[in-house]
Structure 1
Amino acid sequence: MPDLDRRALLVGSVALGATAAVPAAAAQKSGQTSGQPDLSGKSILITGAATGFGRLGAEHYARLGAKVFATMRNLPRPEAEALQKLARDAKLDITLLEIDVLDDAQVAAGVSEAERLAGGAIDVLVNNAGVMITGPVEMQDPEALRLLFDTNLFGCQRMARAVLPAMRKARSGYIVNMASQAGRVVFPGLGAYSASKFAVESWAEQLAYEVATLGIGVGIIEPGGYPTRIMENSNASSVALRDREPDERKAAYPGFVAQMGKSVSTAVASDPMDIPHAIARLIATPPKDRPLRSAVASTPSPQDPINTVCADVQRKMLGSGPFSAASEIVLGA
């Protein structure tokens, strides 16, 4: 049985157009990542900002001039204190808010407070919070499925429902959703994580068509493998799942079971700042020029042809009907 550190295999590219793909290293050499966008005047709310892409993004967007609302669960916590100290020391406009995306009341209260402090609608929502539980599909019990979908999909839905009324009133806004290469291609051993990210892809694309003519944009980020803590953070949940499953099921998948709770990211050569850099460029891009999907990693992405074919199919299906205007906004002509 091969090493099941599947996250390390999720490698991809930076796609700066609807179907174009440019590897991150090549983009840097070509100047596409030279210079920094100006995010002054933008209000950005990020979920899951304690670690990983969310934490890096909170600092990066603030350094580019944005007013950042960095949200995380279980406050107070050391990560929040460290980010607050950084904001004070570097004079960055970062406000810490408690939002657990599983909690309807916290979502409503956190977004309401952010809108109050921003003086109106949030300009950008980054749906970053997510969890992973590894193991074969047969061993993904209802408890594991509920946690994966409640966080990765329903969390996006809760946040979108909270920010959209003010965005609709303002007729502007941008909702960025963290998907994954594993939301377009399948790596055995990722259990229902991949299914939850496939769901994010579908949910976000549908939302994009529905709000396009209201002046609101939707983006889907498809990261490859990066050395963040998502895999390590998944280990406790994966071990708990393994331990509560019967021996008969575990015996059927010895290789996969042996890896549950031992996940580490080996994609050490990839720079996780690729994700905040890509999102910042998207925020600064004129809405009419933003791609729906952006695959971001350091090598060519396996999902690029899937994205190209799907965009072509959607254009043909929606291009001559009542959703033609929305299709053109989201996918281009």
Structure 2
Amino acid sequence: MTTITRRNLLAASGTLAALSALPAARAATLPDLSGKSFLITGTSSGFGRIGAELYARRGARVFATMRNLPRPEAEELRRLARDEKLAITVLELDVLSDEMVARAVAEAERLNGGPLDVLVNNAGVVIGGPVEAHDLEATRLAFDTNVFGYQRTARAVLPGMRRRKSGLIVNISSQQGRVVMPAGGLYSASKFAVEAMSEQLAYELVPHGIDVVIIEPGGYPTEVGQNRAKYTQALRDRVTADVAGAYPEMVERMKAMRSARKGEIPPGMPDPVEVPTAIAEIAAMAPGTRPLRRAVHPGPKPQAEINRVSRESQLAWLGDGPYGPWVKDVLD
């Protein structure tokens, strides 16, 4: 029986084929998202692009945001929405800009006729190499995109969600938001920050009826690697001879980074559609029943034991204190 994969979703034009073409039994297992509105960052490729189409095909109204409009990816998505009568609106949003975030969220809320139901913080960057090689330009870009960008968009949607006493914020983290790999640059540092910020926010939003969920993907072949290769090579060109000599193998590997081509899933690699599928399942759950964290990968999940110990530690530390009800609401 045919199953949902990135391969059978990809059409020759590079856009995704209709989910309605799947067997009825398989399609019926996907959650109905009718009546929900999503704003997603970073929808030019990868999890964001796949998610925008998947949620819309399940009935959601989607505000797909990306930077640097006009661009071909935006026109592809708009054409797909017209051709298949999907409720997808493409908006320009660069998560590095306070002004652009505020403007895009305000426009999405205006078109939606009220506050948004779901924010998916997906835009991110990966820059490889040893930590010492990361100058402040690379460091600022990593944290401004992966951490401050999430905070900008969350603060933009939260006033409306708080007024309505409902909403869901989904923050894309990583396995490397809980475990550390040498030569990974400051990616883990930025995702550790996302994990902590998201968990604290989840506790604080309990009285407002708003859920926060952290998605922890493993390694997936997405086009984010194209930017990783670009940013890593640019950083490699700025590395001093002293630093290059101190970390010769890691610096050499910075030149060899390769990214997946559009629509390509190398043999043996997991399918990126698994991540937006998990998000769709979580969005369809009843408020207050959603998990704080969801690890998504068919292979090893090295963060699972860390997540378990962290949960137990938080409950033991705060469970009987003044914030105990909030912590238990999120973790239980």
Which of 144, 158, 179 in structure 1 is aligned with 2:152?
A: 158
The residue aligned with 1:9 is none
The residue aligned with 2:325 is 325
Given the alignment of the two structures, is residue 130 of structure 1 paired with residue 124 of structure 2, yes or no? yes
The structural deviation recorded for 1:231 is: 2.1
The structural deviation recorded for 1:144 is: 0.5
The structural deviation recorded for 1:264 is: 2.9
Q: CA–CA distance in 2 between the matches of 1:166 and 1:244?
A: 43
Could you report, residue by residue, the CA deviation over 1:73-101 in whole angstroms, capped at 9, with x for unpaired residues? 00000000000111111110000000000
Counterpart code for 1:305:
E
Secondary structure of the 2:294 match is: strand
Which of 208, 211, 216 in structure 1 is aligned with 2:210?
A: 216
Q: 1:47 to 1:208 in 2, by over 3 A?
A: same
Q: CA–CA distance in 2 between the matches of 1:288 and 1:217?
A: 7
The structural deviation recorded for 1:245 is: 1.7
TM-score (ref. length: structure 1): 0.88
Could you report, residue by residue, the CA deviation over 1:202-229 in whole angstroms, capped at 9, with x for unpaired residues? 0100110011121000000000011101
Could you report, residue by residue, the CA deviation over 1:9-28 in whole angstroms, capped at 9, with x for unpaired residues? xxxxxxxxxxxxxxxxxxxx
Q: What count of residue pairs does the alignment treat as equivalent?
A: 302
Q: CA–CA distance in 2 between the matches of 1:33 and 1:63?
A: 10
Counterpart code for 2:318:
L
Does structure 1 retain, via aligned residues, the 8 Å contact 2:201–2:212?
yes
Secondary structure of the 2:229 match is: helix
The residue aligned with 1:301 is 301
Does structure 1 retain, via aligned residues, the 8 Å contact 2:42–2:48?
yes
Does structure 1 retain, via aligned residues, the 8 Å contact 2:34–2:60?
yes
Which of 43, 50, 58 in structure 2 is aligned with 1:56?
A: 50
Q: CA–CA distance in 1 between the matches of 2:328 and 2:192?
A: 23
Structure 2 alignment gaps of length 5 or more: 1-24
The structural deviation recorded for 1:232 is: 2.4
Does structure 1 retain, via aligned residues, the 8 Å contact 2:229–2:259?
no
Q: CA–CA distance in 1 between the matches of 2:52 and 2:65?
A: 9
Secondary structure of the 1:44 match is: strand
Q: CA–CA distance in 1 between the matches of 2:118 and 2:255?
A: 35
Does structure 1 retain, via aligned residues, the 8 Å contact 2:118–2:170?
yes
Secondary structure of the 2:235 match is: helix
Q: CA–CA distance in 2 between the matches of 1:285 and 1:313?
A: 26
- Structural mapping, 1:180-259, within 5 Å: 180-259=174-253
Which of 76, 82, 102 in structure 1 is aligned with 2:76?
A: 82
TM-score (ref. length: structure 2): 0.88
Q: CA–CA distance in 1 between the matches of 2:136 and 2:319?
A: 39
More divergent stretch after superposition (254-263 vs 160-169): 254-263
The residue aligned with 1:102 is 96
Given the alignment of the two structures, is residue 71 of structure 1 paired with residue 65 of structure 2, yes or no? yes
Superposed CA RMSD: 1.5
Q: CA–CA distance in 1 between the matches of 2:69 and 2:226?
A: 21
Q: 1:264 to 1:34 in 2, by over 3 A?
A: farther
Secondary structure of the 1:288 match is: coil
The structural deviation recorded for 1:32 is: 11
More divergent stretch after superposition (280-289 vs 92-101): 280-289
Q: CA–CA distance in 2 between the matches of 1:37 and 1:184?
A: 29
Q: CA–CA distance in 1 between the matches of 2:222 and 2:66?
A: 16
Q: CA–CA distance in 2 between the matches of 1:294 and 1:32?
A: 22
Q: CA–CA distance in 1 between the matches of 2:309 and 2:253?
A: 34
More divergent stretch after superposition (148-157 vs 247-256): 247-256
Does structure 2 retain, via aligned residues, the 8 Å contact 1:179–1:200?
yes
The residue aligned with 2:272 is 272
The structural deviation recorded for 1:261 is: 3.8
